[in-house]
Structure 1
Amino acid sequence: MEVFLNLRWTILGVILLTFVGLVLILSISLQSILVPHFRDEENRSAVLNVQRVLGLLENERVTLTDAVHTWSSRDESYDYIRTGSSDYIQRNLSDSVLLGLNIDLMAFISLEGGIVHAQIAGGQADSEIDFPAGLREQIKPGDALLRTSDDREPRSGLIATNRGPLLVVSAPLLKSSGEGPTGGTLIIGRYLDAHQLNRISTIVRLPLTILPYSQANLPPEFADAKLAITAENPIAAVSTSETQMAGYALLNDFYGSPAYILQVEQGRTLYRNSQLVLLYLTTAIVMGALLFSVMTFLALDRLVLARIRKLGKEVTQIGAGGDLSARVTVDRRDELTLVSNQINGMLANLQALSNRLVEIQEAERRKIALELHDEIGQLLTGLKLQLDTSTENGAAQKKARDLADDLIQKVRNLSLDLRPTMLDDLGLLPALLWHFDRFTSLTGVKVNFSQNGLADSRFSPEIETTTYRVIQEALTNVARHSGAGDASVRALHRDGVLSIQVEDRGGGFVAETEFTNNRTRGLRGMRERVALVGGSITIDSVPGWGTSILVELPAMAQPVEGSGNDHSVTGG
Structure 2
Amino acid sequence: MKQGKINYLTLRRGTLLIIGITLVSLNAAIYGVASTLLLGGSMRAEEKDTRQAMKGVLNVFNQNIEQFNLNFADWSSWDDAYQFIQDGNSDFIQTNLIEPQLAMLQVNLILFVDRSGKTVFSTGFDLEQGRKKPIPPSFKQHLKPDGLLLKHKSINSSVSGIVILPEGAMIIASRPISTSQRQGEIRGSLIVGRYLREEEVDRLTQSLQVPLKVHPLLKGKVPPELISSSTRKLEHADASGFLEGVSVTVRAQDEKRSSVWHCCKTSTANQQSYFRRKIHEKSISRVKTRSDF
Mapped pair 1:185 → 2:189: yes
For residue 279 of structure 1, give the secondary structure of its aligned residue in structure 2: helix
* TM-score (normalised: structure 1): 0.43
- Which position in structure 2 is the counterpart of 1:69? 73
Within 2, Cα distance between the matches of 1:23 and 1:250? Answer: 45
- Which position in structure 2 is the counterpart of 1:262? 271
Within 1, Cα distance between the matches of 2:60 and 2:138? Answer: 24
Displacement after TM superposition at 1:163 (Å):
1.7
- Which position in structure 2 is the counterpart of 1:277? 286
Mapped pair 1:83 → 2:96: no
The 1:24/1:195 distance shift into structure 2, 3 A limit, reads same
For residue 176 of structure 1, give the secondary structure of its aligned residue in structure 2: coil
Displacement after TM superposition at 1:200 (Å):
2.4
Displacement after TM superposition at 1:106 (Å):
2.3
Select 1:240's aligned residue among 253, 262, 269.
Answer: 253
Select 2:125's aligned residue among 110, 120, 129.
Answer: 120
- Which position in structure 2 is the counterpart of 1:215? 220
Of the two, which has the highest radius of gyration? 1
Contact 1:169 1:188 (C-alpha < 8 Å) held by counterparts: yes
- Higher helix fraction (1 or 2): 1
Within 2, Cα distance between the matches of 1:121 and 1:193? Answer: 12
Gaps of 5+ in 2: 235-243
The residue type equivalent to 1:247 in the other structure is: V
Displacement after TM superposition at 1:170 (Å):
0.7
Contact 1:149 1:181 (C-alpha < 8 Å) held by counterparts: no
The 1:149/1:209 distance shift into structure 2, 3 A limit, reads closer
Within 1, Cα distance between the matches of 2:258 and 2:290? Answer: 25
The residue type equivalent to 1:160 in the other structure is: I
Displacement after TM superposition at 1:37 (Å):
0.6
Displacement after TM superposition at 1:268 (Å):
2.4
Mapped pair 1:163 → 2:167: yes
Within 2, Cα distance between the matches of 1:228 and 1:38? Answer: 28
- Which position in structure 1 is the counterpart of 2:262? 249
Contact 2:150 2:189 (C-alpha < 8 Å) held by counterparts: yes
Cα RMSD of the aligned pairs, angstroms, is 3.1
Displacement after TM superposition at 1:228 (Å):
7.8
Within 2, Cα distance between the matches of 1:78 and 1:12? Answer: 95
The residue type equivalent to 1:211 in the other structure is: P
Contact 1:212 1:261 (C-alpha < 8 Å) held by counterparts: yes
The residue type equivalent to 1:234 in the other structure is: S
The residue type equivalent to 2:114 in the other structure is: S
Q: Give CA deviations for 1:340-382 in whole Å, capped at 9, x if unaligned.
A: xxxxxxxxxxxxxxxxxxxxxxxxxxxxxxxxxxxxxxxxxxx
Contact 1:134 1:159 (C-alpha < 8 Å) held by counterparts: no
For residue 145 of structure 1, give the secondary structure of its aligned residue in structure 2: helix
Displacement after TM superposition at 1:10 (Å):
5.0
How does 1:475-486 map onto structure 2 within 5 Å? none
Displacement after TM superposition at 1:90 (Å):
3.9
Displacement after TM superposition at 1:103 (Å):
3.3
How does 1:258-337 map onto structure 2 within 5 Å? 259-282=268-291, 285=292, 289=293
- Which position in structure 2 is the counterpart of 1:194? 198
Contact 2:85 2:112 (C-alpha < 8 Å) held by counterparts: yes
Within 2, Cα distance between the matches of 1:102 and 1:5? Answer: 91
The residue type equivalent to 2:247 in the other structure is: P
Q: Give CA deviations for 1:90-110 in whole Å, capped at 9, x if unaligned.
A: 444455554545433322222
